Amino acid sequence: MQCVLSVVRQSVLSLRDKSSAPPHNPEHVTAGAGSTAVMAKSPSLLPYALPSRARILLTGSTGCIGSHIAVELLTHTDCTLELLVRGGTLRFVAEADEALRNGVELGRVHVHDVDLAAGQGLENEQLRTIVGICDALILCAASWGGDTAHAVNVASVLATIRAVNKRRCRKIVYFSTASVIAPQGRLLIQEAIRWGTDYIRSKAIALVELVKAMSDISETPVSLTIVFPTLVLGRRSHIGKALDTDAAAKMNHSPLYRGAKYALRFMHMESAVRAHFIHAADCAQVVRRLLFCVVSASFKTPARIDLTPPTLVPSVQQPSQTAYLVLGQQPPFSYDDVVRALCRLYGLRVPSRWLRIPADPLLWLMVHRLIPVDPWTRYCLRRRRELFVFPQAVRPEDFGGISVAPDLYTALEQSRTRFTAEQSTREISSAI
């Protein structure tokens, strides 16, 4: 642990030493229509748009968020996608939706066999060639743990950034996670290294290393937007996989259904414990608008992320062309909202309040190690009243769009809904 802290400390100190520009002078922005969050000062956010026929590199295109981003871009723009996929075209076509397979046939999707987990293709001329022809990068590949966490979440991100063509690339969108920041915008680097899972730890380190790498190209007009999605729902999310079934009859045999029927709906949790969610399709819509729309002053952003907590090293100057967004629907949901949504989804009756058992004693047992949970879960439960609510969270409405899933029930329902082949083909054909 001391070794990891030393590496991060050296990286951040190096970033501070390289920074000689005067501090950015933030300006007030006004909330968009329907905004409920308190506004914060922030630098300008992507004031120019990419051309409609831009070429975009996308990692993680077979995952939950990445697959929605690919469909969103193919449907609503004329861009060409360069995808990095382990196993190349054969694996991608086997796992992709009809919309993406149609994009391959139409020549708008180019699939490259690059294994981010093994580092295959990351340090050679192939990656530099692929990245060098792209106008924008969207980095949303992720490994949830194990031996591949550092390779995918840290090494592959840095290798891709180093391969950027400074004369052509104009925008980079990087997907982090809201789990590594506090509501005030402080990076939980020490907490992530001490208690975090492989995923959490690697995401926190990647954030520091990414800003450091971007400082090397700060003289160029390349802008970086780091997005922090909250709880992500969607067809390929963890919850979506538990919801998605091929037949309606099988739904009543899923673990989530049994949990909702026999346990979850009979429990109650204090209303102060709340959190945000965002559907992957809404993440994709925000990304498209960040890339192809000129974002006016009618948006809200979080306070600048503090990448160097005072307990680690002194504050450092960050690249001025970096923006930060927390993605999440407003207002945050409570445990009772979850119970109502699941009961509506499965056709169950919401029990009377006096029949429900308080869940807080169970959480107390977890926090005090009487029920075994991993250290990061224990840390989050200990700070459950403050850690999961972001007043500055944004959604498509803040960029002039309309959310696919504005409420929890709709998000859960959409998470088990597949695009039909006819719908996907029609959407892509109409966009061309």
Residues 218 and 289 in one domain: yes
331/300 Cα distance (integer angstroms): 15
Kindly state whether residues 361 and 324 are assigned to the same domain. Answer: no
* Mean of pLDDT over the chain: 76
Tell whether 147 and 259 lie within a shared domain.
no
Q: Are residues 32 and 128 in the same domain?
A: yes
Query: Could you give the 3-state DSSP secondary structure of residue 157?
Result: helix
98 and 33 in a common domain:
yes
Burial 211-221 (b: 16+ CB within 10 A, else e): bbbbbebbeee
User: 325 and 339: one domain?
Assistant: no
Q: What is the pLDDT of residues 219-237, one digit of tens each?
A: 667 888 999 999 999 887 7
Q: Give me the domain span that covers residue 154.
A: 2-235+275-332+391-404+419-431
The CATH number that applies at residue 226 is 3.40.50.720
The answer as to whether 410 is a domain residue is no
Distance CA 347, CA 403 (A): 25
Q: Which amino acid is at 132?
A: G
Same domain? For 255 and 164 the reply is no
Instruction: Count how many domains the chain has.
Output: 2
- Give the model's pLDDT for residue 6: 56
Residues 299, 352 within the same domain: no
Q: What local confidence, expressed as pLDDT, does residue 244 receive?
A: 58
Q: Are residues 322 and 246 in the same domain?
A: no
pLDDT for 17 equals: 45
Q: What is the pLDDT along the chain (432 residues), one digit of tens a residue?
A: 555 555 445 554 444 444 433 333 333 333 333 332 322 334 445 557 888 899 999 999 888 899 999 999 999 999 999 999 887 666 677 666 677 777 777 788 898 888 888 765 566 677 888 999 999 999 999 998 888 899 999 999 999 998 898 889 999 999 999 999 888 778 888 899 999 999 999 999 999 899 888 877 666 678 889 999 999 998 877 676 666 554 444 566 666 677 777 788 888 887 678 999 999 999 999 999 999 886 654 444 444 455 544 333 334 445 557 788 999 999 999 989 999 998 998 888 988 878 888 888 888 888 888 889 899 999 998 888 888 899 889 999 988 899 999 999 999 888 875 543 334 434 434 443
Domain-located, residue 203 = yes
Could you tell me if residue 409 is inside a domain? no
Domain-located, residue 215: yes
Residue 264: name the closest of 412, 122, 131, 141 by CA.
412
| Residue-wise pLDDT tens digits, 132-142 | 999 999 999 99
| Closest to 70 measured CA to CA, from 60, 61, 78, 79 | 61
- Decide if 411 is inside a domain: no
- Does residue 97 fall inside a structural domain? yes
Asked, for residue 143, whether it belongs to a domain, the answer is yes
Residues 287 and 168 in one domain: yes
For residue 65, give the 3-state DSSP assignment.
helix
